[in-house]
Structure formats: C-alpha cells, structure tokens
Amino acid sequence: MTSVIRVPPVALLVVALHTAVLPHLRLFGVGADVMLLAAIAAGLVAGPRQAAWTGFLAGLIADCFTRTPFGLSALTYCLVGYGVGLLRVGVLEMSWWLPTAITFVGSALGVVTFVALGTMMGQEYLWSWRVPMIAGVLALLNMALGPLIVKSIRWALGPVSEPRPVR
C-alpha cells in the first residue's frame, strides 16, 4: 500500500529528470539515462521481477520521447533490470563498491543492447563510431546519479524482502 502512494512522486521525479533536467547537463554531448538507471536501481534493491517491471514501464515512458520503435527501450531496460536483479540475487555479500560497479557496467551494457536490438530492427542509424563513447560517458554519469536514484527507488518500493533466486 505504501508503495502505491510513493511510486507516483518518484516516477514524476525520474521523468522530470529525464526530460527536463538531464538534457541540459551533458558531458561531451552525452546525457545520463535516468530511466535505464531506474531499472538498474530496482534490480539492486528489489530483485529481478520488480526490476523487469520497473525497466519495462520506465522504458515505455522513455519511448514516448524518442522516435525509435515504441517498445525498444522497454525491451532493453526490462532485460537490463532483470539481469541486474539476477546478479544481485547471485551475489552473497554486497561490497560497498559493487552497486557502483554494477551501475556502470549495467548502464554501458544497456546502451549496447539498445543499439544492437535497434539495429536488428532496422534502425541502422543508431550504430556509429560514437556508441562506445556514449556508453562510457553515460555509464559514468549514471554512476554519479546512482546513489540518489537507488535511494529514491528503495523508498518508493518500500520495505522489500531480500531478493531470492528466481526459479
């Protein structure tokens, strides 16, 4: 019940960051992807199932603001969130640096997956020499934003039982 009340303001915050704040704060022309970060954060705090849902919904909203096929971001973020959630479940002890490292790698993989899936769907323009640079810079920016988003997602989802392996 708590999460029903808490999710909307956090969702609004994340969308406002994505559409109005982060596009102004770019490094080498690359901005952070807070919708992808939300999926990763859900994976870190709530496990694969909730992360897949969070990634899917965040991706659908992200798809509304781009011209890439509607559902491409949803598919990508859902897969990344699920993957991060699985990784979280598989790790026995979370070192202090591990969430940061997972955020970095997850973000970079998210960009590569988005481009790869998009290219498979005929969006060849997504692939360019800049993709590795975009992946790297975006991962760095997401890493910097990580603590804020992880805290927000943890607060929104409420007390979550420790993730267990999915069978």
Partner 1 sequence: MVLLFLVLLSLTFITLDFRGDGGGITGGLRHGVESFFSPIQSLVGAVVEPIGNAFSGITDYGALEDENARLKDRIADLERRAAVGDDVRKELADALALQDLSFVGSIPTVSARVVSTPVSNFEQVIELDKGSDKGIDVGMPVVTAAGLAGRVTEVTSHRSRVQLLSDSTSAVGVLLPTSNERGAAEGEGTDRDLVIDFIEPEVKVASGEVVVTSGVGGSFPPGIPVGNVAHSKAVPGELQRSVTLRLSADLARLNMVKVLQWKPQR
Which residues would be at the binding site for partner 1 (CB under 8 A)? 12, 15-16, 18-21, 23-25, 29-31, 33, 48-49, 52-53, 56, 59-61, 63-72, 74-75, 78-79, 82, 111, 115, 118, 121, 125-126, 128, 130, 134, 138
From residue 120, alpha-carbon distances to 36, 109, 124 in Å are: 20, 16, 8
Count Cβ atoms below 10 Å from residue 103 Cβ, excluding itself: 27
For residue 22, the minimal CB distance to partner 1 (Å) is 8
Residue nearer to partner 1 on the CB measure, 1 or 20: 20
Residue nearer to partner 1 on the CB measure, 48 or 146: 48
Contact between 103 and 62 (Cβ < 8 Å): no
Instruction: Name the residue with tokens 């002890």.
Output: 93
For residue 73, the minimal CB distance to partner 1 (Å) is 9
Q: Is 6 helix (H, G, I), strand (E, B) or coil?
A: helix
For residue 78, the minimal CB distance to partner 1 (Å) is 5
For residue 95, the minimal CB distance to partner 1 (Å) is 27
Q: Please compute, for residue 40, the number of CA atoms within 13 A of its CA located in the half-sphere on the CB side.
A: 27
Residue nearer to partner 1 on the CB measure, 61 or 97: 61
Residue type, 149: I
Q: How far apart are CA 64 and CA 113, in angstroms?
A: 19
Q: How far apart are CA 44 and CA 86, in angstroms?
A: 9
Q: Please compute, for residue 141, the number of CA atoms within 13 A of its CA located in the half-sphere on the CB side.
A: 24
For residue 93, the minimal CB distance to partner 1 (Å) is 25
Residue nearer to partner 1 on the CB measure, 3 or 19: 19
Residue nearer to partner 1 on the CB measure, 41 or 58: 58
